[in-house]
Amino acid sequence: MIDVGGDGRVWLLSGTGSSYALRLTERDELLHLHWGPRITLADAEALAAEPLPGHRGFESLLDGREEYPVEGGPRFVRPALTTRTEAVRGTDWVYEEYQVHEGGAGGDELRLHFHDPVQHVDIALHYRLRTGTDVIERWATLSHGGGDRTAPVELLRADAAAWSLPVRDHWRLSHLHGRWAAESQLARTDLSHGEHVIGSRRGHTSHAHLPWIALDAGDAGEEHGEVWSAALAWSGSWRIAVQLLPDGLVQAVGGAGHDDAGLVLLAPGESYTTPVFAGLWTDGGFGASSRAWHAYQLAHVIPGAEQSRPVLYNSWEATYFEVSEAGQRALARRAADVGVELFVVDDGWFGTRTHDAAGLGDWTPNPDRFPNGLKPLADDVHALGMQFGIWVEPEMVNPDSDLYRAHPDWVQYQPGRRRTEFRNQLILNLARDDVRDYLWQQLDTLLHSAPIDYVKWDFNRCFTDAGWPGDPYPQRLWVDHVHGLYALLDRLRAAHPGVAFESCSGGGGRIDLGILSRTDQVWTSDNTDPLDRLAIQDGFSQIHPARVMAAWVTDSPNEQLNDRVSSLRYRFVSSMAGVLGIGGDLVKWSEDELTEAREWITRYKTIRPVVQHGELYRLRPPSEELSAVQYVRGDETVVLAWLRHQRHGEPQPALRLRGLDPAATYSDVATGEVHRGAVLLHHGLRTGLRGDLDAAVFHFRRN
């Protein structure tokens, strides 16, 4: 709902449990008023009538209070917008009008229009309150107004939004950092004066940070307290800067690009739309914040989220590059036998890709490995009752490939410089129309060549030499590569609506709201160690739902990473926290292991609706010896618990469950044992876990 007051210069957006208010001064300054619990329009107008604090030497009254601070004029905060023409740098806008679009498909939208008469730039600020949520999606559209101006306008920086927080004595910042095989590690630190900047300078979202922040006044816990959080919908380089200003005001600006050195050059009539920077205020702690983010993504971001994801098998860790049709068939038979629903052939099926130094770019089946193409294997997989999927990495090329030999200028490169190879590969310039057309034709042909149900879309190196010789504004490729990727994915999805897509980037290097709006699930991490995974999954769950979090059971010892030995039980329960998959070499698994795997997969299918579509409660974090998560959906609840290490024979603490009816009783679906809701809530569930790396699944149904 959007209310307008104050002579059309105060706006109040109200979601299911929160409100957001802003106002325009008589000098056309757009000031923030409120982001928190629900208030009335009268409250917002009262806030608007409050005078700003008196002037203080060397300070700007605007700093920390503006909805979209621009460079130019009396401002010293990090600007969201920096523009430049040949003659003038910085923005000074006049207000033009507002528009309210209520009842649109995705929610109610407020649009505020401004114009810079000197630079001839039109600026529209968008606020969309997503229906049934408290998520406000904010973005900006910047257009060259044309007119008698023929000179271009350069957007040195154009963030999506600035989020302003109320004054509190203290602030704490939560964010997710990491690296390859250790993604989404949750960090929670006091915010000190100055700036805390996270982002990616790598051309993809990156393993280093997920584009998400959460702020609290230092008093929030897992299930209590106010949390202000924001997430960017962008899959290229990005930056979020959180500033604690001298007066205790906090502002977070974020958008595409890692610096202020030039993002887009607008010719007359052209425009640039920033990605969405979505914000969410919740009461009820970090848990409520996560659940609200999950509900928003399931309802508004992830395509077809109401459908459950199948149990998949992926061949990577079983075969690496030793791919053969017979070998894949043998794995597929075993996968079908244990209950897998989707069989995915990973890297190594195409071109001359028998190792990582050749073949990327040539998306036709390797004639020695698949003499009759992929169709015979895909047909067999279907005959076994499973869907069929393949791996691709379309944005890349090996120098040793037919594509690169034919088009060495199609990659990103700086003229006269060595082309940096990571994993023996270079990055195709997807900002180029001819490159996108080629990829479209290759991938469309591939998807027509065999009954393919699923595409794992990988991206295995960062940008390094992001040049585009011959283009008048080469740095646009940082943004336009991502737009090219999105366009390609959108086109493929439209032409092949039955095909599901997974976003992968050497594990979790490309996980964000932007890619999630056009993929069905993500590969969380190349780290398939079931213990390490708990921390990665815990971080992931801060923002993204289990419905998209792919998790495989692989072999023990975990040879890829750490040689850790773990039971099949522990590995399964770890992977059952998301979209269960198997990534081990099933051909080598014993009959006993296969029987046990079959039982776990059967069990997973019974809890899957609750895990993939339920509400998530983090009962105890993985930093504890005993950790656990709980999912609640309607009358059902599922608890997954993991014990790292039992000391001195001590029993483990009981798990106090959440989201249950204290007046109801609940039956254990597996054993029939009856539990009382009040007891589970207030005294807890005894897991009976013992020893090292033990794990258990509980599934209760309300009577």
Q: Are the C-beta atoms of 580 and 605 separated by less than 8 Å?
A: no
527: Cβ contacts below 8 Å, ≥ 6 apart: 181, 182, 183, 507, 533, 536, 561
54-60: list long-range contacts, CB under 8 Å, 24+ apart. Answer: 59/246, 59/247
Of the candidates 392, 403, 343, the one whose C-alpha atom is nearest the C-alpha of residue 583 is 343
Per annotation, catalytic residue among 526, 538, 555, 694: 526
Which region, judged by CB under 6 A, interacts with ligand DGJ, from 164-172, 374-382, 504-512, 603-611? 504-512
- Pairing type for strands 209-216 and 227-232 reads antiparallel
* Position 529 contacts ligand DGJ (CB under 6 A): no
Closer CB to ligand DGJ, 262 or 351, in the complex: 351
563: annotated active-site residue:
no
* Contact flag: residue 349 with ligand DGJ (CB under 6 A): no
Closest residue by Cα to residue 186 from 534, 552, 509, 462: 534
User: Quick one: tokens of 496?
Assistant: 């092949």
575 binds ligand DGJ (CB under 6 A): no
From start to end of 131-208, where are the E strands? 135-144, 153-158, 161-165, 172-177, 185-190, 194-200
458 binds ligand DGJ (CB under 6 A): yes
Count of residues in contact with ligand DGJ, rule CB under 6 A: 11
Q: Tell me the C-alpha distance between 341 and 314, whole Å.
A: 11
**317-319-320 Cα angle (round to 5):** 70
The yes or no reply on residue 460 touching ligand DGJ (CB under 6 A) is yes
Q: How far is the CB of 348 from ligand DGJ (least distance, A)?
A: 8
> Which amino acid type is present at position 547?
R
Closer CB to ligand DGJ, 90 or 507, in the complex: 507
Catalytic residue among 458, 480, 520, 555: 458
Of 439 and 619, the one with the shorter C-beta distance to ligand DGJ is 439
For residue 523, the minimal CB distance to ligand DGJ (Å) is 5
Please name the residues in contact with 63: beta carbons below 8 A apart, sequence gap of 6 or more. Answer: 69, 75, 76, 77, 245, 247, 249
C-alpha–C-alpha distance, residues 523 and 538, integer Å:
15
Provide the β-strand partners of residue 153: 266
Residues 37-56 that bind ligand DGJ (CB under 6 A): none
For ligand DGJ, which is the closer residue by CB, 357 or 681? 357
Binds ligand DGJ by CB under 6 A, chosen from 45, 362, 526, 538: 526
Q: Which residues pair with 280 in a beta bridge?
A: 135, 229
- Omega before residue 474 within 30° of 0, cis: no
Q: Which segment (148-156, 223-231, 502-510, 672-680) binds ligand DGJ by CB under 6 A? A: 502-510
Residue 111 or 355 having the CB closest to ligand DGJ = 355
**Binding of ligand DGJ at residue 391 (CB under 6 A)?**
yes
Instruction: HSE, CB side, 13 Å, CA atoms: give it for residue 687.
Output: 30
Q: Which region, judged by CB under 6 A, interacts with ligand DGJ, from 10-18, 56-64, 501-509, 679-687?
A: 501-509
Q: Tell me the HSE value of 688 on the side-chain side, using a 13 A CA sphere.
A: 3
Give the one residue of 154, 341, 346, 480 binding ligand DGJ; rule: CB under 6 A. 346
Q: Which residue's Cβ lies closest to ligand DGJ?
A: 347
DSSP letter, residue 297: I
Nearer to ligand DGJ, 134 or 362 (CB): 362
Question: Binding residue for ligand DGJ (CB under 6 A) from 72, 254, 507, 530?
Answer: 507
Q: Does 347 bind ligand DGJ (CB under 6 A)?
A: yes
Smallest separation (angstroms) from ligand DGJ to the CB of 688: 35
In terms of residues, how long is the chain? 703
Q: Which stretch binds ligand DGJ (CB under 6 A): 500-508, 643-651, 665-673, 675-683?
A: 500-508
Interaction residues for ligand DGJ, span 292-321 (CB under 6 A): 316
Reply yes or no on whether 526 is catalytic.
yes
Does 523 help bind ligand DGJ (rule: CB under 6 A)? yes
Q: Of 336, 504, 607, 693, which lies in the binding site for ligand DGJ, with binding defined by CB under 6 A?
A: 504
506 binds ligand DGJ (CB under 6 A): yes
Residues lying near ligand DGJ in the complex (CB under 6 A) are found at: 316, 346-347, 391, 458, 460, 504, 506-507, 523, 526
Q: Report the catalytic residues.
A: 458, 526
